[in-house]
Amino acid sequence: MERTRASLLLRLQDLRDRESWEQFVEFYGPMILAFLRRLGVSHNDALDLSQDVLQIVMVQIGTGRFVYDPSKRFRAWLKTVTRNRARRHFQERARSPGGQGGTDHLQRVGQLAEAAAHDDPFEKQWRDRRLQMAAEKVRKKVTRKTWEAFCRVTDGESPQHVADSLGMTVGALYTSRSRVIAQLKQAVGEIDE
C-alpha cells in the first residue's frame, strides 16, 4: 500500500508553509469530502465538516500532537479523524431540538460502522484522487486525439472502431495507449514521491 509522502508531512509541521498546506488540501480535500458523503453526510454539511477535518489536521500537525512516524500510515489516522467528526456531527444533530433523531440517525450511525467494516472507502478515495490528478497531468501532455483514443478504448469501445473514427491504425492506437499508460504510471509515481 502506498504511503503519504513523508516530505509533505514533514513540511506541514511549519504552519507558515502555505504552499505545502495548499498542496495537502488540493490532494486530500476532495477525498475527505467524498468519504463524508459516503458516510451519509449531506453535501452542504460535508463541505463544512471537511473544513473542520482539515482544521483538526492543521492543529494536530502544527502543534506537534501528530508527529509523522514512517512506520504508521497517515491516511489511516486521517480516516479516523474524518469518521470521528462525522460521528460527532450525527450525534449533535440527534441532540438538537430540531435534530435528526430516530431511524434516520440510527441508519447514519450504522453507515459509519459499515464503512469501518467494509473495504476501506477512504483508501479507495485516495487511490481515485491520485489517479485523477495523474490523469489531469498526462492529459495536458498528450494530443487531444491520443487522449480521446485512450479514453474510448479504456471505456470498452472497440479498438478497431476507435481507430477508424480517429483516422488511426489499430497498431498506432495501441502504441499511443501504451505511452499514455506509461505516462500515467510515471505521474502516479511522482505524486507518491
**pLDDT: which is higher, 130 or 53:** 53
- Summarize the chain as % helix, strand, coil (round to 5): 75, 0, 25
100 pLDDT more than 70: no
Residue 107: predicted pLDDT: 53
CATH of domain 142-192: 1.10.10
Residue 89: predicted pLDDT: 85
- Distance between CA atoms of residues 144 and 4, nearest Å: 32
What is the arithmetic mean of pLDDT over 124-151?
Answer: 85
**pLDDT: which is higher, 99 or 173:** 173
Cell of 119: 473495504
What is the arithmetic mean of pLDDT over 185-190?
Answer: 82
The average confidence (pLDDT) of the chain is 78
Domain boundaries in the chain?
6-126, 142-192
167 pLDDT more than 90: yes
Candidates 45, 111, 116; CA nearest to 103 is 111
Is 49 exposed, middle or buried (CB count within 10 Å of its CB: 0-12, 13-18, 19+)? Answer: buried
pLDDT tens column, 1-30? 344 567 777 788 787 888 888 888 888 888
- The fraction of the chain above a pLDDT of 90, given in percent, is 5
Task: Name the band, by pLDDT with cuts 50, 70 and 90, for residue 141.
Answer: very high
